[in-house]
Amino acid sequence: MDFQFYMPVKVIFGQDAMSQFASLAKEPVLIVSTEILTQLGVTGKVAAACGGSPAVYDQVEANPTLSTVEAIASAIREQNIATVVAVGGGSSMDAAKAAASLAAGDTPLRDCLYHGAPVPARKVSLLVVPTTAGTGSEVTNVAVLSDPEQDRKTPLVSHSLWADAAMVIPEMTVTAPKGVTASTGFDALIHAVEAYWATSTQPASEALSLQAARLVCQNLRRAYDNGEDREAREGMMLGSLLAGMSFSQTRTTILHAASFPLTSDFHVDHGRACAVNMIPVLRYVSRHIPEKMRAMAVFCGYAGTEEWIDALEDLMAHCGMPLSLSEVGVKEDDISRLAAVTMSAPIVRLTPAPMDEDIVRKLLADNLYSGREGGAAN
C-alpha cells in the first residue's frame, strides 16, 4: 500500500486559540471578513485579539468574485500587509487565501484559473478563523471563486493557498442562524462522504471521513434545534475540520460538480447546492460500492445503507433543506445544460460509479420534483 498525506496547516482548536492571535499576527494586519460579521461584532472581537489597529476589508460577498479577490490583493500590496486574517465561512477564507497569494506577484487571476499560470508564492502570513461548521476551507489548498463575466465557479488549487494556522473556535458558531447551520452542516457531511468514496481516496482520508460523518450525524440536528448547545456545536466544528482535512487530499466528486451551476446560475448557496442532489446520488453510488457505503452507514450508527440514507433524508426535511431541484428554481428545460456543465468539472471523474452526460442528466431529471424518488440511473 502506497499513499501520501500532506496538510501543513497548524490547527489550534478551542477557546484558547483567541489568546494566540497576538503572537501569530505580525503587524500590519488585514482582516478579511463580511459586513454581517462586522455588524455582529465578530470581526471586532478578532481585531481586538490581534492587538494593534488592524485594517479591515469586510466586503466579501457569498461566492466571492474575482474582482473581490483582486481588491483584497491590492489592499495587501498598498498597505504593505504582513499578516492576513480571514474571518468567516468559506467565502471569506477562500477570498483571503487567493488574495494573499495573488498579492505576491502581478499574474492576472484569470491566467491562474483558466490558462495554467502558476499561482504566486504567498509572502504574507495567513491565519484563518472559520465561523461556520461546514466548509473545511481552513485546512485546504483550494479557493472556489465566482466569475460573473463567464457565469461560472472555478476552484483555484495551489500549494500557496495553505494557511499558516487555522484558529478553530466552536464558540464562533453559536450565533449562526438555523439556515446557515443546516447548509454548512450538510456541506461538511458531503465533504466527508465524497472524500470517503472518491477514487483518489486513501486510508487516512477514509478514517477522517468516517469520524467526520459520524460527528455530523450525531450533532447536526441538535445544533440546528438549539444553537446554544455547545457540545453539539463543538461536535459539528470538529466534524467539519476532519472532513476538510480528508477532502484536502482527495478533492470532491459529483455532488460538488453539480453544485457549481446551481450556485452561479440559480444563486443557490453552496451547502444547499451540494445537498439538493445528495439523496439520489447516495443511492446511485451506493449500488456501485455497496460494502463500502454500508461500512459508513454502520459507523454512523445505522443498520445499513438504506436506513442511513432514509435518516439523512428525514434530517434534510427537518432542517428545511431542499429535496428536489424544482425547490431551488430549476425547470425541466434547464436539466440538459446543468448536466453538461456538471460533466465539464474534472472532479466528476473521481466518482466511483459510471458518469457521463446521459447518466447525470437522468439523475438530475429524476430529482426535479422528488428527492425520495430520485436515483433511478443505473
Residue 86 has pLDDT above 80, yes or no: yes
Return mean pLDDT, the chain. 96
**What is the average pLDDT across 125-152?**
95
Q: Are residues 271 and 316 in the same domain?
A: yes
Q: Are residues 251 and 163 in the same domain?
A: no
- Split at pLDDT 50, 70, 90, the class of 378 is low
Which CATH number characterizes residue 88's domain? 3.40.50.1970
Residue 50 has pLDDT above 50, yes or no: yes
Task: Tell me the pLDDT tens digit for each residue of 140-196.
Answer: 999 999 999 988 889 999 999 999 999 999 999 998 999 999 999 999 999 999 999
Q: Is residue 4 part of a domain?
A: no
User: How many structural domains compose the chain?
Assistant: 2
Task: Tell me the pLDDT tens digit for each residue of 317-362.
Answer: 999 999 999 999 999 999 999 999 999 999 999 999 999 999 999 9
Residue 266 has pLDDT above 70, yes or no: yes
Q: Are residues 336 and 278 in the same domain?
A: yes
Domain boundary (172, 192, 223) is at 172
Residues in the chain: 378
Q: Is residue 261 part of a domain?
A: yes
Q: Is residue 1 part of a domain?
A: no
Q: Are residues 81 and 152 in the same domain?
A: yes
Strand-strand pairing, 165-168 and 10-13: parallel
Cell for 1? 500500500
Burial of 110 (0-12, 13-18, 19+ CB in 10 A): middle
Residue 375 has pLDDT above 90, yes or no: no
Element (H, E) at 146: strand 142-147
- Split at pLDDT 50, 70, 90, the class of 377 is low
Residue 42 has pLDDT above 80, yes or no: yes
Residue 51 has pLDDT above 70, yes or no: yes
Q: Are residues 63 and 115 in the same domain?
A: yes
Which CATH number characterizes residue 310's domain? 1.20.1090.10
Domain boundary (112, 140, 172) is at 172
**What is the average pLDDT across 15-40?**
95
Cell for 350? 473521481
Q: Are residues 324 and 203 in the same domain?
A: yes
Q: How far apart are CA 321 and CA 1, in angstroms?
A: 40
Task: Tell me the pLDDT tens digit for each residue of 227-238.
Answer: 999 999 999 999
Q: Are residues 127 and 220 in the same domain?
A: no
**What is the average pLDDT across 58-73?**
97
Q: What is the pLDDT of residue 151?
A: 84
Q: Is residue 372 part of a domain?
A: no
- Split at pLDDT 50, 70, 90, the class of 66 is very high
Strand-strand pairing, 152-157 and 142-147: antiparallel
**What is the average pLDDT across 266-294?**
97
Q: Dihedrals φ, ψ of 206, to 5°?
A: -60, -45
Domain boundary (137, 155, 172) is at 172
Q: What is the pLDDT of residue 1?
A: 86
pLDDT > 70: percent of the chain: 98
Q: Are 116 and 164 in contact (CB under 8 A)?
A: no
Domain coverage including residue 97: 10-172
Where is pLDDT greater, at 16 or 126?
Answer: 126
Q: Are residues 157 and 191 in the same domain?
A: no
- Strands (E) across 121-164 are located at 125-130, 142-147, 152-157
How is residue 368 annotated by DSSP?
Answer: S
Q: Is residue 360 part of a domain?
A: yes
Q: How far apart are CA 287 and CA 304, in angstroms?
A: 13
Report in angstroms the alpha-carbon separations of 239 from 87, 178, 195: 19, 18, 13
Q: Is residue 371 part of a domain?
A: no
Q: Are residues 128 and 262 in the same domain?
A: no
Q: How far apart are CA 220 and CA 271, in angstroms?
A: 14
